[in-house]
Structure 1
Amino acid sequence: MVLLYWLVQWPAEHFMFGGEDGFAAMPDWQRALLPIISCFVLVVFFIWLPAKYHKLGIPYVIERLNYHQGVLPVVNGIVQFFSVAIALAGGLSIGKEGPAVHIGATFGSLLAQRNRLPQFGVETLLACGVSGAIAASFQTPLGGVLFAFEVIFLEYRVQYVLPVLLSSVVGMLVSQYFLGALSVFRVSDFSATLLNLDLLLACLTLVLSIVVLALLFNRVQKILWPLSRLPIWTRFSLVAMVTSLAAYYLPEILGGGYDPLVKALSGETLMYSLLVFLVAKTLLTSFTIGLGIPGGMIGPTLIIGGVAGVQVASVFGAGMGIHHELALFALLGMAGMMAACFQAPLTALITVVEMTHSSEAIVPALFVIVLACLIMRLIFQEESVFVSRLHFAGLSHTLNPFKHHLMLHSVQPVSEEVVVLPAYASPEEVKDLGASTLDFAAFRVDDNWRIARRAHMVEALEALNQGPQPWLVAEGDHILMNLFEAVESTSIDKLEDPDSLASVADWFHQTQASDVLVVFSKSQQVSVISRRAMDQFLFKDR
């Protein structure tokens, strides 16, 4: 995240007088040309890349978690890093926080894959990556933890809390060390606020405004998702044209920075009304992301909600005496908008409180958050925009509980270790097996594996006491036993490196076999798993 901030800020400092959000200070023609150049570079970038690397963002992380055991390809994370930097440098209306989640999750997944961790470890490190990325982006450690649970896992998992908290804290500390404080605005100028009739009416108005904006934000994306079948150059060209027009007439809606919100709070007038900003920012962001630009939604929703809060406070201020609470209503709007769009109430509350370094507004914030979430969910049947995106792709946002239970268990509890012998073994090797506590031996004939019980091996060895046997083979000065002919054995298929019981269960379901030989390439350990052993384990576990 530090590298991403630097990568975005470097061209801003060299080519913009106002820094990262200084698009309004640029000449009109340069500002209008910038999105076109950015989209052109992105088109060339994505056309050059194979299609499998085009999947990016938070919905992709949830998909890989539910359908691919949390394995995230490294190349997709690298593509996400550079593509969002290109888009932000061009002023496209997106955020950097959503891509940060993908990048962080990729780091966690990579560590888990390198260490061949079981599913529990994969999910833990993936959650650590997500929380660390959010904490580094906003410098909000608790918000990062809650985001991982509410948005990615869609449930609270107590057993992951300690490592995820540690990752969040480290991510925030690294971000603070390299970037300094990233406070959006401070709200130390208002004291504890008690709910009264005037404030209640203003909060209700804010809730209705947030619901309208959140519906607009979500529904525009849903309308545009079917256009993903269009060629990438067509979709990105549309984004370039619309953003270029916006850059010429409404420069302050460009980019993903918080400059418009800071200006509104400080009393500076924008080039146009706050209402125009709200509608234009909402439409442009949802249009840009809906057509496939690899950007995030978290930052823009916070900006939209914050400006909506300032607008409501300004409208009610003259008659009700709450004009001095602009910061309070900005905070309420940020929390409400984030919660309404992502159905993550606690994440929204804690993130905004940590960003603003104030807990004075928790009660009114909870009122706004809960009411906005309930209206979105119960009246308009709106889920998280990430969940809706998965449903559009025909995917489920939750994992089957039974399959998830299997994914969390390794194969050791249901496996029996096996001695591997050569197909032509010496009597001494078979005799050693007789003294072993293992019940099975495996050997390979050509490319086919066969398995035999230890008792059958001992019987063949005892038959030598009766005289030479037809399955004895002379090889130089050694006498060997042809195990294929000497013992009763059965053919068995091999499964390499299963990561959990879920992989074994899928294999049994596909093959309808009753046993499988499991081989771990790293440790060279060989075991046998029977369907009966799995059934007994599950029955006992229940």
Structure 2
Amino acid sequence: MAFFYLVMYIPARYFINMEFDSFTSLPLITRISLPVLACFLLALLFHFVPKAYHKVGVPYVVERLTYHGGHLPVWNGLMQFVSAVVGLLGGLSMGKEGPAVHLGATLGSVLAVRAKLTQYGVETMLACGVAGAISAIFQTPLAGVLFAFEVIFLEYRQHFVLPVLLSSVVATFVSHYLIGPMNVFDINALHHVTLSLELLAACLLLVVMIVLLVVLFFHTQKMAWRFSQISVWWRFSIVALFTALAASYLPESLGIGYGSLSRLLVGDLFVYALLVLILVKTVLTAVTIGLGIPGGMIGPAFVIGGIAGVFVALVFGVEADNIALFALLGMAAMMAASFQAPLTALVAIIEMTQSSAAIVPALFVIVLSCLLLRVLFHQESIFVERLKFMGMASSMSPFRRHLRQHKVSSVADEVMVLAVKIPLEQVKDLASSMVNYVVFKTDGRWYWVHRAHILEALQNLDIGPQAWLRFDQDVGVMDLRLAVSCEGILQIDEPSSLEALLGWFQETRQNDVLIRLSNATYCVVSKHRLDQFLLKHDD
């Protein structure tokens, strides 16, 4: 995340000659040229890169978690990195937080796969990557943890909490050390908030405004999604045109928008254009992301909500010292309503202000905004809506989740690996063994047999010489191929979870399988034993 930040900051500072995300300071021709050039480069990149690598962002992370066990390809992550840097430097209305989530999730997934972790380990590492990414970008460790649970997993995973917390805290320390304190918004700590009827009325107006903005944000994107099959050149040209027009007449809408909100909070108020800025920023971000530009929505959502909060404060004639409170309330409500992440939004503003004074009004606007969107407009998170539009589920069934949480050892029978020809003394030792099954390999194939059948064959020696009896240096040995009737069995490496094992049984239509575990030992799993496990745990 520090490298991602520096790759954007250094070119902006030393080549474009501006502070990152401060496009209003640039000459008009530069402001117009940057988004046009960025869209051209992105269209060129998408044209030559295979379509399999075009999928990026938070919806893609949720998709891979739901349908592919959380395995994220490295090349999609690289595509996200390059395209996000180009778009952000070009002033497109998008955020860096969504790409950061994809990069963090990819890192966690790759490390888990390289370490050959189980499905539980893959999901844990993915959650650690997401939480670490958000923590590094905002330097809000608790908000990073909650974001991973509320937005990516769509549920709280108690058994993930400790490693995810550790990842989040370490990421914050590293971000502080490499980048320094990131005061995204120049907001002083709120020491006291007086609850009054005027505050309640202002909060109600803010809730109505936020809900309408989120509906506009959602429906504009849904309209843009319908053009997803059109050539990338046409789609990105439309984004370039819209952004160039915004750069000409309202440059405050360019980029993420942190700079514009910061100026509002220090008293540089352009009230006459405030409502226009809110609407333009909302539509421009929705069109940019909806037409396929690989950027994030979290940062712009924060900015839109913050500006809406400032607007409401000015409508009610709030004192300048309290305008920051309404900006925070708007940021929290917009984020919570857009991504259905109420606790993430609440904790984020607490960590940013290092104060709990705004908890009561923040909870009021957050909860009411989320409820109104769900009840009146039936809107889920924008990421969930995107997956629904693509015909995909955003979460897995309880049955699949239950299977993912269990390893193969839950249904496995231990086996003893023997040579094809074994000394009779070793055969006799099988009588005291607690292992029921024996496996051996011959002619490149694995065979398995119950231990009792081998012991029965040994007892036949009392009748007379057997066809399976051989002598090796005057030592009697049993040839298992001749002594017992053996069944062939396929051998696979240990699956990541019972879900993967069930999928293997359904695909191959086998009844039994020999599994090589990570510690180089073997076990046998039968389809019947797996079915018994599923019936036993069926709720």
TM-score after normalising by structure 2: 0.93
| Cα gap change, 1:453 to 1:484, in 2 (>3 Å) | same
Match of 2:374 among 365, 374, 377: 377
Single out whichever of 263-272 and 350-359 deviates more from structure 2.
263-272
- Report the counterpart of residue 526 of structure 1 in structure 2: 522
Matched, 1:415 2:405: no
- Report the counterpart of residue 396 of structure 2 in structure 1: 399
Question: Counterpart amino acid of 2:370?
Answer: C
Single out whichever of 511-520 and 150-159 deviates more from structure 2.
511-520
CA contact (8 A) 1:450 1:492 kept: yes
Question: Counterpart amino acid of 1:53?
Answer: Y
CA contact (8 A) 2:222 2:290 kept: yes
Q: Distance in 2 between matches of 1:190 and 1:104?
A: 32
Output one character per residue of 1:286-332: Cα deviation in whole Å (capped at 9) or x when no partner: 11111111111100000000001111111220xxx545421111011
- Report the counterpart of residue 192 of structure 2 in structure 1: 192
CA contact (8 A) 2:420 2:442 kept: yes
- Report the counterpart of residue 517 of structure 1 in structure 2: 514
Question: Counterpart amino acid of 1:85?
Answer: V
CA contact (8 A) 2:189 2:353 kept: no
Q: Distance in 2 between matches of 1:25 and 1:323?
A: 25
Question: Counterpart amino acid of 1:384?
Answer: S
- Report the counterpart of residue 498 of structure 2 in structure 1: 501
Q: Give 1:54 deviation, angstroms.
A: 1.5
CA contact (8 A) 2:31 2:244 kept: yes
CA contact (8 A) 1:16 1:22 kept: no
Q: Distance in 2 between matches of 1:36 and 1:482?
A: 77
- Report the counterpart of residue 92 of structure 2 in structure 1: 92
- Report the counterpart of residue 216 of structure 2 in structure 1: 216
| Cα gap change, 1:233 to 1:483, in 2 (>3 Å) | farther
- Report the counterpart of residue 120 of structure 1 in structure 2: 120
Matched, 1:3 2:26: no
Q: Which runs of 5+ in 2 are unaligned?
A: none
CA contact (8 A) 2:412 2:523 kept: yes
- RMSD (CA atoms): 2.4
Q: Give 1:541 deviation, angstroms.
A: 5.1
- Report the counterpart of residue 168 of structure 1 in structure 2: 168
| Cα gap change, 1:189 to 1:473, in 2 (>3 Å) | closer
- Report the counterpart of residue 366 of structure 1 in structure 2: 363
| Cα gap change, 1:526 to 1:245, in 2 (>3 Å) | same
- Secondary structure (helix, strand or coil) at the match of 1:527 reads strand
Matched, 1:451 2:465: no
Q: Which runs of 5+ in 1 are unaligned?
A: none
Q: Give 1:178 deviation, angstroms.
A: 1.4
Matched, 1:60 2:60: yes
Q: Distance in 1 between matches of 2:5 and 2:326?
A: 28
- Report the counterpart of residue 386 of structure 1 in structure 2: 383
Q: Distance in 2 between matches of 1:474 and 1:394?
A: 66
| Cα gap change, 1:361 to 1:282, in 2 (>3 Å) | same
Question: Counterpart amino acid of 1:441?
Answer: V
Single out whichever of 199-208 and 378-387 deviates more from structure 2.
199-208
CA contact (8 A) 1:184 1:356 kept: no
- Report the counterpart of residue 259 of structure 1 in structure 2: 259
Q: Give 1:432 deviation, angstroms.
A: 5.2
CA contact (8 A) 1:260 1:270 kept: no
Question: Counterpart amino acid of 1:97?
Answer: E
- Secondary structure (helix, strand or coil) at the match of 1:417 reads strand
Question: Counterpart amino acid of 2:77?
Answer: G
| Cα gap change, 1:231 to 1:427, in 2 (>3 Å) | farther
TM-score after normalising by structure 1: 0.93
| Cα gap change, 1:478 to 1:74, in 2 (>3 Å) | farther
Question: Counterpart amino acid of 1:383?
Answer: E
Question: Counterpart amino acid of 1:131?
Answer: A
CA contact (8 A) 1:416 1:529 kept: yes
Output one character per residue of 1:157-179: Cα deviation in whole Å (capped at 9) or x when no partner: 22222221111111111111111
CA contact (8 A) 1:497 1:519 kept: yes
- Secondary structure (helix, strand or coil) at the match of 1:20 reads coil
CA contact (8 A) 2:189 2:355 kept: no
Question: Counterpart amino acid of 1:523?
Answer: N
Output one character per residue of 1:389-432: Cα deviation in whole Å (capped at 9) or x when no partner: 11112211121112211111111122112223344556566455
Output one character per residue of 1:498-525: Cα deviation in whole Å (capped at 9) or x when no partner: 11111222233344443222223x4332
Output one character per residue of 1:427-486: Cα deviation in whole Å (capped at 9) or x when no partner: 566455455332112234545432111121223334345444445678999987553333
Matched, 1:79 2:79: yes
- Report the counterpart of residue 240 of structure 1 in structure 2: 240
Q: Distance in 2 between matches of 1:436 and 1:101?
A: 52
- Report the counterpart of residue 312 of structure 1 in structure 2: 312
CA contact (8 A) 2:190 2:358 kept: no
Q: Distance in 2 between matches of 1:66 and 1:16?
A: 41
| Cα gap change, 1:231 to 1:420, in 2 (>3 Å) | farther
Output one character per residue of 1:36-66: Cα deviation in whole Å (capped at 9) or x when no partner: 2212222232233222221111111111112
Alignment of structure 1 residues 260-299 onto 2, 5 Å: 260-270=260-270, 273-299=273-299
- Secondary structure (helix, strand or coil) at the match of 2:326 reads helix
Single out whichever of 49-58 and 183-192 deviates more from structure 2.
183-192
- Report the counterpart of residue 26 of structure 2 in structure 1: 26
| Cα gap change, 1:291 to 1:480, in 2 (>3 Å) | farther
Identity of aligned residues (%): 52
Q: Distance in 2 between matches of 1:89 and 1:474?
A: 79
Residues matched between the structures, number = 538
Question: Counterpart amino acid of 1:76?
Answer: N
- Secondary structure (helix, strand or coil) at the match of 2:387 reads helix
Matched, 1:460 2:457: yes
Matched, 1:438 2:435: yes
- Secondary structure (helix, strand or coil) at the match of 1:441 reads strand
Q: Distance in 1 between matches of 2:243 and 2:426?
A: 75
Q: Distance in 1 between matches of 2:83 and 2:270?
A: 30
Q: Distance in 2 between matches of 1:447 and 1:228?
A: 50
Q: Give 1:216 deviation, angstroms.
A: 0.9
Q: Distance in 1 between matches of 2:292 and 2:477?
A: 66
Q: Distance in 2 between matches of 1:40 and 1:426?
A: 74
Single out whichever of 287-296 and 418-427 deviates more from structure 2.
418-427
Question: Counterpart amino acid of 1:9?
Answer: Y
Output one character per residue of 1:197-236: Cα deviation in whole Å (capped at 9) or x when no partner: 2222211111111111111111111111122222323322
Match of 2:334 among 334, 337, 352: 337
Single out whichever of 475-484 and 219-228 deviates more from structure 2.
475-484
Could you list the runs of 4 or more consecutive aligned residues of structure 1 that deviate by over 6 angstroms after TM superposition? 473-480
